[in-house]
Chains A and B, each alone.
Chain A
Amino acid sequence: MLNILIVGNGQCGNRILDAINREAFGKKSRFAKFYSQQKYKSNVQTIAINTAVNDLREMKFTKAKDRIHIPHLHGVGANRNVGKHVFDENKTHIMRQIEERGHFDVCFVMTSASGGTGSSFTPMLVKELKEKYDYPVYALVVLPFREEGTLYLQNAAFCLRDIRESGADGIILADNQYLKQMGGNVESAYNGINDMIARRILFLLDALDSEMMMVTDLGDFKTVMSGGAGLATIGFYEAESELPVRGAIQKALSPSGLLFSTDVYEEASRAMIIIRGDRERLSIDEISTEVEKLSSAVGHVFKGIIVRDGELPQVLAVLTLESASELESLYAIAVDAIKQERDKKDRVANVKEVDRAFSQIDGMDPSY
Chain B
Amino acid sequence: MVRSYRLLVISACMVFFCLALAGNASATVELYNKTIEMGDGYQINNYVIDVTDVFSDANTASFYVYNNNNKVKEFLLSTGDSFEFDFEGDAKVKVTLLSVGSGTLPVARVSIVISNYKISDIYMNDIVDGGHKYATYSGTPNLKITKTVDKSEIGVGDLVRVTVTVENIGDDRAVDVIFQDPQQAKFVLYDTFVTHTGQTTVNVGESKTLFVYQLKATESGTYPLLPTTASFSNTASLKFPQASSNSPVVTVGASESLVSAELEFTTTLDKYTVNRNDDIQGTIKIKNNGDTPATAVTVSILVPDGLDFKGGSGIETISGTPTIYLESFGVQQEKEISFTLKAADVGTYTISSKISYLFNNGVDTQLQQVSSDSVTNSIYVTKGKYDYLFEQPLYMYAAPLIIIGAIAGWIFYRHKQYKF
Contact = CB atoms under 8 A, between A and B. Distances in A.
Nearest to B413: A34
Contacts of B411: 34
A63 B417 contact: yes
Interface stretch (A39-47, A53-61, A161-169, A273-281): A53-61
Interface in B392-420: 410-411, 414-420
Contacts of B416: 64
Interface size of A as a range: 10 to 19
A67 B417 CA distance: 11
Interface residues on B, range: under 10
Contact of B410 (A34, A62, A67): A34
Interface in B202-244: none
A34 B414 CA distance: 6
Contacts of A62: 418
Interface string B54-80: 000000000000000000000000000
Given A34-B410, A34-B411, A61 B418 contact: yes
B414 A59 contact: no
A152 to B, nearest CB: 27
Nearest to B414: A34
Nearest to B411: A34
B419 A64 contact: yes
A33 B420 contact: no
Contacts of B415: 34
B373 to A, nearest CB: 66
A64 B420 contact: yes
B410 to A, nearest CB: 7
A56 B360 CA distance: 96
A11 to B, nearest CB: 15
A60 B420 CA distance: 9
Nearest to A65: B417
B414 A67 contact: no
A27 B414 CA distance: 16
A33 B413 CA distance: 11
Contacts of A65: 417
A33 B419 contact: no
A179 B419 CA distance: 32
A225 to B, nearest CB: 32
B406 to A, nearest CB: 12
A2 to B, nearest CB: 24
Contacts of A56: 420
Nearest to B410: A34
Interface string A91-133: 0000000000000000000000000000000000000000000
Interface string B271-287: 00000000000000000
Interface string A189-219: 0000000000000000000000000000000
A59 B420 contact: yes
A272 B34 CA distance: 182
A97 to B, nearest CB: 15
A63 B418 CA distance: 4
A57 B418 contact: no
Nearest to A63: B417
Nearest to A31: B411
A61 B417 CA distance: 10
Nearest to B420: A64
A63 B413 CA distance: 11
Interface in A12-38: 33-34
Contacts of A64: 416-420
Nearest to A69: B420
B320 to A, nearest CB: 56
Most chain A CB within a 10 A radius of its CB, from B416, B417, B418, B419: B418
Interface string A289-311: 00000000000000000000000
A57 B420 contact: yes
Contacts of A57: 420
**A-B interface, 9 closest residue pairs, ranked by CB to CB distance from nearest:** A64-B420, A34-B414, A34-B411, A63-B417, A67-B420, A57-B420, A56-B420, A33-B414, A64-B419
Interface of B: 410-411, 414-420
Given A57-B420, A63-B417, A63-B418, 12 more contacts: A33-B414, A33-B418, A34-B410, A34-B415, A56-B420, A59-B420, A60-B418, A61-B418, A62-B418, A64-B416, A64-B420, A65-B417
11 contacts: A33-B414, A34-B410, A34-B414, A34-B415, A60-B418, A63-B417, A63-B418, A64-B416, A64-B418, A64-B420, A65-B417
